[in-house]
Amino acid sequence: MTLRAAVIGVGHYLPERVVPNAEFEKTLDTNDEWIRARSGIERRHFAAEGETTSSMAAAAANKALEHAGLTAQDVDAIIVATSTADLTFPSAATMVQAELGMTTGFAFDVQAVCAGFVFALSNANALILSGQAKRVLVIGAETFSRIMDWTDRSTCVLFGDGAGALLLEAYDGKGTSQDRGILSTDLNSDGRHKDLLYVDGGVSTGTTGYLRMQGNQVFRHAVEKLAATATKAMERAGVESSDVDWVVPHQANIRIIQGTARKLGLPMENVVVTVQDHGNTSAASIPLALSVGHERGQIKDGDLIVTEAIGGGLAWGAVVLRW
């Protein structure tokens, strides 16, 4: 028998406020056509006043628990992937733990920007395989609307807020690629490229700061690195592109998603796409897309899924799992 970390629950949360591209035309030299052509984004959600990363994360977690038919007391650990935690510390994860009424186990954050959920999934997988936890809530949650420079049309139109969650449980597999759960992971980073995507604030500046991005350079790295990490993860899992039912990528830009799919030799019909409705929700985008894909009836039990992401750092990685 081979221990696996299998998905037993999924859920997501989006703020009520929907912001269409046309809203930016009031304050910026931009328009709906320009934004769609360069990103594929049509609308995004922004958190309301008083709505926080941790509160959205808890809402998504509750839906995942409900889907699994379990309560927070059945969970051993919570990992929240985020770059926009409510406070410098404590972690958003401990705030979610308290919100859920979970009084045992442990909780911590993972910060790998847009690749955060892939890194969090890998950590959750390791906790389960090592026997340190039987059930782990893995959440991606962001309020990127609070670190936007609203005068920078190249960045502020791209991002949105939201949260998604998966509940993983230890599962005895047979050690083959037909097993349910996480089959392989691949993580990477290269700090030499930190200036391509960053926030110009923090404890060294005494400010929250704003997101800054060299979009063309990020795009150049993204397609190549995403295809490479997905390929490596598939090789480790012993599967090929032809075996894959769904690619669920980080939802940053439709052109990156299309370019990566081409490099992997997969048609867009096999890609779950939500970027048009959510924008780039950073670490929340993959669990959001997984939850929406499941809700739509696209993702079904037994489906083989490849999920990949790249973010500031640069940090990037991929996970292969069977639903």
Q: Which two tokens stand for residue 219?
A: 């795009």
| DSSP H or E segment with residue 29 | none
Q: Any bridge partners for residue 166, and if so which?
A: 10, 138
Compute CA distances 148 → 82, 151, 307, whole Å. 16, 9, 26
What is the residue type of 273?
A: V
Could you give the residue numbers annotated as active site?
A: 114, 250, 280
d(CA 172, CA 6) in angstroms, rounded, equals: 9
- 198's CB contacts (< 8 A; 6+ apart) are 211, 212, 312
What number of other Cβ atoms are within 10 A of residue 234's Cβ? Answer: 23
In Å, the largest CA–CA distance within the chain is: 60
Distance CA 318, CA 309 (A): 7
Angle at 16 between CA 11 and CA 21, to 5 degrees: 110
Determine phi and psi for 143, rounding to 5 degrees: -125, 70
* φ, ψ of residue 79 in degrees (nearest 5): -120, 125
Burial grade of 179 (CB within 10 A; 0-12, 13-18, 19 or more): buried
